[in-house]
Structure formats: structure tokens, C-alpha cells
């Protein structure tokens, strides 16, 4: 990751390299040595976790709301968690300011022709019209906070730390009366991203939204989909795993595994 993330520099995304020491809920330090359990016959990945300052690459208006500044400007991304592996060509970004998965970057793709901070000329496509062919991002956050439709969620989410569970980062935050644990890791030799939610005080179940562009592509270990919204019954809120295929559809699989808890 420390090598591959340097490829962000030509894209103009990297403001400054964040420190490799990652302060967490327990004052832990994340070293580039994570080896979570993986499914199938794929080899375990060596995961790297760092903090990065980036130019804001989000283009959706609702997702940009937490970063809004005066006169329509948007704030850069500060101390964003960057997860990846030297064995996989992806960088995964999670932001504690908005408590959400912000983006999945293909480090081998061509630079993005239009950024959120550039003003399109007359007749040009706006940043909101990104397509997989024009953007190096497989995913960009869109819409409000992903759990905003869940009963008990209110206001803005509040991050209070993270911990390592079997060397996999787990982010801890609250939203209204909900207490949320969110875990991210690369699986299947880097072909998929797993996102695990565990929520307390969700007496009426969960509503988890994913970007519209991923509607029909994300699979889950529990619940039912209606468009881009996953409804999870209260009996399953202790663990629901979303799977995002990163490799070509013919190569990616969707059987979820989760690292054992400490």
C-alpha cells in the first residue's frame, strides 16, 4: 500500500502522506501486517492501513454535505483511513468525518478527467456524471449517511475511535440511539471488499443504503434488497456482511467470511 498509494500523486489527489501510526479507540498502532482469514482457496492478503489527506473526490451533493464550506466550496479530506494491499490494485477510503465508505480507487486506472473541485465548461459533463469508463473510482459515496433510514438514526454520525479485530480495522461510531461497529477488509485475494456492520439498539432492524451505481451488484449475508437499500431484520443486526466485487464479474465470488472476533 505504501508503494501503490504513491501512484495517487499524478492524479493530484494526495495533499500529504498521512502518518503510519494510526491512533485508535484504544490508542493502538496499525502496522502493515494484517492477515485476515479469507474464504475459498485464495491466499491471505497482507493489508496495510494508513491515514491520508486527500483532495475531495466525492461528487454527489448529498454525500458532500458534511464537507461544505462557504460560497459553495468543499473541504479537503483530512486523516482519511486508507486500506489496501500490495497484492491488490485497490485503495479503500473510509472517513471518520462522515462515518462512511467514501471510495474504492483502482490504482491502475487512468487519471480522472474531471474532479469535484473543477468547474465544468459549457457543454461538458458535470462531476456527477462520472461513469466507470471515465473515473478511476469503482465506488464513490452518494446520498445521505448509509444508515440514515434506520429507525433510531438521527442527526449526524459521531465517530469515537477504531480498533483492530484480528488485524482488521473496525470503526466505532454512533448515530442517534444507534451504536455501530463497521469493519472493512479485502477478501478473495483482493477480488472483493467485505463490509461488516454490527449495530446495537436497532430494535426495528436496519436500513443500509449503497450508492445507486452499485444497485444489484452488492450482495449481503442477511436481509432483502429493494433497489439500493438493504432491509435487515432485527434478528440479524448483530452481523450483516456486504460484499462488493472488485474484479471482473466472471472472476469475483460472493461467499462472505469474517475474521474471528478477538
Instruction: Give the pLDDT confidence score for residue 185 in this predicted structure.
Output: 94
pLDDT of residue 224: 97
Helix (H, G, I), strand (E, B) or coil at 133: coil
CA-CA distance, 205 to 227, in Å (whole number)?
A: 18
Point out which residues pair with 199 in neighbouring strands. Answer: 180
* pLDDT tens digits in sequence order for the chain, 262 residues long: 333 443 343 333 333 333 333 333 433 334 333 444 433 334 447 789 999 999 999 999 999 999 999 888 999 999 999 999 988 999 999 999 999 999 999 999 887 665 444 443 333 334 444 555 578 999 999 999 999 999 999 999 999 999 999 889 999 999 999 999 999 999 998 999 999 999 999 999 999 999 999 999 999 999 999 999 999 999 999 999 999 999 876 555 555 666 655 5
Residue with the three cell numbers 483502482: 106
Q: Where are the domains of the chain?
A: 4-245
d(Cα 114, Cα 188) in Å, to the nearest integer? 32
Dihedral, CA of residue 52, residue 62, residue 163 and residue 189, to nearest 10: -70
pLDDT on residue 260: 59
The 3-state secondary structure of 200-259, one letter per residue: ECCCCCEEEECCHHHCCCCEECCCEEECCEEEECHHHCCCEEEEEECCCCCCCCCCCCCC
- The secondary structure element, H or E, covering residue 143 is none
| pLDDT score, position 94 | 98
Amino acid at each position: 500500500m505504501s508503494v501503490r498509494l504513491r501512484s495517487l500523486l499524478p492524479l493530484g489527489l494526495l495533499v500529504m502522506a498521512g502518518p503510519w501510526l494510526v491512533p485508535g479507540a484504544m490508542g493502538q498502532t496499525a502496522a502493515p501486517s494484517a492477515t485476515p482469514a479469507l474464504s475459498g482457496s485464495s491466499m491471505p492478503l497482507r493489508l496495510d492501513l494508513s491515514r491520508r489527506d486527500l483532495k475531495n473526490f466525492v461528487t454527489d451533493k448529498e454525500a458532500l454535505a458534511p464537507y461544505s464550506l462557504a460560497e459553495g466550496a468543499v473541504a479537503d479530506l483530512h486523516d482519511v483511513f486508507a486500506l489496501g494491499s500490495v497484492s491488490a490494485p485497490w485503495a479503500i477510503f473510509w472517513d471518520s468525518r462522515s462515518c462512511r465508505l467514501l471510495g474504492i480507487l483502482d490504482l491502475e486506472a487512468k487519471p480522472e478527467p474531471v474532479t469535484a473541485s473543477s468547474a465544468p465548461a459549457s457543454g461538458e459533463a458535470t462531476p456527477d456524471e462520472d461513469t466507470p469508463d471515465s473515473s478511476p473510482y469503482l465506488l464513490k459515496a452518494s446520498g445521505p449517511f448509509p444508515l440514515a433510514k434506520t429507525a433510531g438514526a438521527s442527526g449526524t454520525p459521531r465517530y469515537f475511535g477504531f480498533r483492530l479485530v484480528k488485524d482488521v480495522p473496525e470503526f466505532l461510531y454512533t448515530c442517534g440511539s444507534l451504536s455501530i461497529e463497521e469493519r472493512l477488509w479485502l477478501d478473495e485475494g483482493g477480488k472483493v471488499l467485505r463490509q461488516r456492520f454490527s449495530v446495537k439498539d436497532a430494535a426495528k432492524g436496519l436500513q443500509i443504503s449503497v450508492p445507486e451505481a452499485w444497485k444489484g451488484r452488492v450482495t449481503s449475508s442477511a436481509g432483502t434488497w429493494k433497489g439500493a437499500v438493504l432491509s435487515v431484520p432485527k434478528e440479524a443486526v448483530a452481523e450483516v456482511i456486504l460484499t462488493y466485487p472488485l474484479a471482473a464479474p466472471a472472476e469475483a465470488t460472493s461467499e462472505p467470511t469474517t475474521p474471528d472476533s478477538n
